[in-house]
Amino acid sequence: MRLATLRAGARDGALVVVERAAKRFAHAGAVAPSLQRALDEWTRCEPLLRDLEARLEGGEVEARPLPVGAEALGPPLPRAYEWIDGSAYLNHVVLVRKARGAEPPEELKSDPLVYQGGSGGLLGPRDPLPLPDPAFGLDFEGEIAVVLGDVPRGTTAAGAAGHLRLLLLANDVTYRGLVPAELKKGFGFFVSKPATAFAPFAVTPDELGHAYRDGRAFLRLSCTYNGAVAGDLETGPEMHFSFFDLIAHVSKTRALTAGTILGSGTVSNHDATRGVSCLAERRARETIAGGEPVTPYMRAGDVIRIEAFDGDGSSRRSVFGAIEQAVVAGSVTL
Amino acid sequence: MRLATLRAGARDGALVVVERAAKRFAHAGAVAPSLQRALDEWTRCEPLLRDLEARLEGGEVEARPLPVGAEALGPPLPRAYEWIDGSAYLNHVVLVRKARGAEPPEELKSDPLVYQGGSGGLLGPRDPLPLPDPAFGLDFEGEIAVVLGDVPRGTTAAGAAGHLRLLLLANDVTYRGLVPAELKKGFGFFVSKPATAFAPFAVTPDELGHAYRDGRAFLRLSCTYNGAVAGDLETGPEMHFSFFDLIAHVSKTRALTAGTILGSGTVSNHDATRGVSCLAERRARETIAGGEPVTPYMRAGDVIRIEAFDGDGSSRRSVFGAIEQAVVAGSVTL
């Protein structure tokens, strides 16, 4: 099942169910006005939403065309109670630290890196990326995320599967130029992380079939930067910590509420020919190879497109729909 | 005006207006079911809530007794879209760093320290403080916080006043024993910060009269630890960054949504006879004076009571109501 949120005046938008062919949708307001409300009452809502999906596929409910260009589609959760982002692809951590002459953290393979991000205002798939100052060093980051149900404190990885409700695709934007000063202060990324963007569809794990297993999504992540392929990456095999591992880590000392979004961190593959899902990693590879980065960060007018695919050939499908965002200089208000 | 949230089945509880004498309340469900909803529609709701308050004081609406012991009162926002905590009392930063032989950050006086905390599950004023392992080093932290309306990106300190809706009193609990390993990882406090607790009443700035000015609350913060006064502190004069300054800082690169909670950080006074609002600061003073800390962190059965007062003598009033929490060993579920 794939769900989406129409921008519709209300802060949380309007929940819709998307048909398999992703050309039409049905309003789900009779089940729950918003995705957050559906997550709040998942036990009641999930079967009703699945029933609505079946009736949509069967032509038994009114189907409306999905808005062209997707400007009318918001992020699945326009505001979320938490956005916690991991760094589960260790290759990325190792490369970025190597480029600056630093060792990877001692507990790299046993203790997940996570940070708490801002969650009150999230961007939709076509929202512009503001660049108030070129020195901010804007970068995209393609990653898989999950939406959780209520997670009790002390949940184990073995017990985590039942708390994972939906999968998302994110562009976890970073102002790289602001990172060093923020990290030096010791309290995290705060001002170096503007609002994160999400692809339009939130997808139940069963929708991925065998491409979802062991708390990982085995998809192809495509990042196209100004029309050129920046990365065509495998999301599954190199995700060192599964979402189950990450859930256990982030619930170690507190419970999490339904609707919490948990990210994988930038997807990264050891094989350099796969490319990258963020410019920082390309710059790290350039620095390791030639002493300094060559690729600049994003500039006004640049366009980043991020999509994830399952299947092959004729069964290949854009699972979450596309993120496609243009960089806008100055103080665009979002 | 003082607002509170009754625990009432729903995830966001039920909004009530509290009378001045803080003995009775009136249900505000006809205006907004929850405080979050009132914040979402503040322009519509504020005058209606103030009218309800006037009718409550005038005996024109049904008044109900406030629940004794306040277990039935939740935090004003049981779940919030963001919880961002500053560290605006520089004395605290200087003392804690001095105790571990470190210099204060270079930009201490010009660049606020803030971290993004978990906001999906907040504790009420009487909720137990879980201590899964004594080595976690549980500590309380008394602080003032504010609830924001929608804050556009790039808001200035001069333009911040109109975005500040309500004041709160918080116990920003920390597992001190987990802090060093987390900070060493470089991404913030994550697992070292369990759920934050709040006093029952959310208070409009005008309710404080002259005790609210220049984006600061000029109150007396009382911290009573196992029945003994740990601190009796001034919250106003030594708050280096006002809430207006903090709003400008945290909105530098992204907008904030209505209901975002922004904290002052642990209240701290230069005058040691005032005491402390957290054990870490007492331990820092002990370390500076005698080479090592003497005071242990909290243990099972310990009780911390935090209140803030305005006025003097017979006009002295507990502005936010009291936080009073007992430490419970093991895996209490919240």
Checking if the pLDDT of A20 tops 50, the result is yes
Q: Which residues of A touch B152 (CB under 8 A)?
A: 333
Q: What is the mean pLDDT of residues A81-102?
A: 94
Q: What is the pLDDT of residue A334?
A: 46
CB A75 within 8 A of CB A263: no
DSSP-derived 3-state class of residue B323 = strand
Is A86's pLDDT higher than 90? yes
The number of residues making up chain A comes to 334
Q: What is the pLDDT of residue A183?
A: 87
Minimal Cβ distance to B121: which of A11, A117, A256: A256
Predicted TM-score of the model (pTM): 0.97
**Predicted pLDDT at A314:** 84
Q: Specify the pLDDT at position A331.
A: 63
Q: Tell whether A74 lies on the interface with B, counting CB pairs under 8 A.
A: no
pLDDT at residue A237 tops 90: yes
Look-up of token digits 């819709």 = A16
Q: Is the model's pLDDT at A113 over the cut of 80?
A: yes
**How many CB contacts within 8 angstroms connect chain A with chain B?**
145
**Closest to A153 (Cβ–Cβ): which among B116, B153, B334?**
B334
What backbone phi and psi angles, to 5 degrees, belong to B51?
Answer: -65, -40
Nearest to B154 among A121, A183, A331 (CB): A331
Whole-number average pLDDT of chain A: 95
Backbone angles phi, psi at B234, to 5 degrees: -90, 125
Kindly determine whether residue B256 and residue A40, on different chains, have CB atoms separated by under 8 Å: no
Q: Is B263 on the interface with A (CB under 8 A)?
A: no
Say whether B190 and A114 touch across the interface (CB within 8 A). yes
3-state secondary structure at position A289: helix
- Given A11, A81, A194, which is nearest B253 (Cβ)? A194
CA distance A67 to chain B (A): 26
Buried b / exposed e along B152-168 (16+ C-beta atoms within 10 A): ebbbebeebeebbbbbb
**Which residues from chain B sit within 8 angstroms of residue A183, using beta carbons?**
186
Reported confidence tier of residue A68, pLDDT bands at 50, 70, 90: low
- Chain B residues touching residue A130 (CB < 8 angstroms): 153
Tell me the pLDDT tens digit for each residue of B292-332.
Answer: 999 999 999 999 999 999 988 888 999 999 999 999 998 65
Q: Which residues of chain B have pLDDT under 50?
A: 334
pLDDT at A184: 86
pLDDT of A299 higher than 60: yes
Confidence at residue B294, expressed as pLDDT on a 0 to 100 scale = 97
Residue B222 phi/psi, 5-degree rounding, is: -110, 120
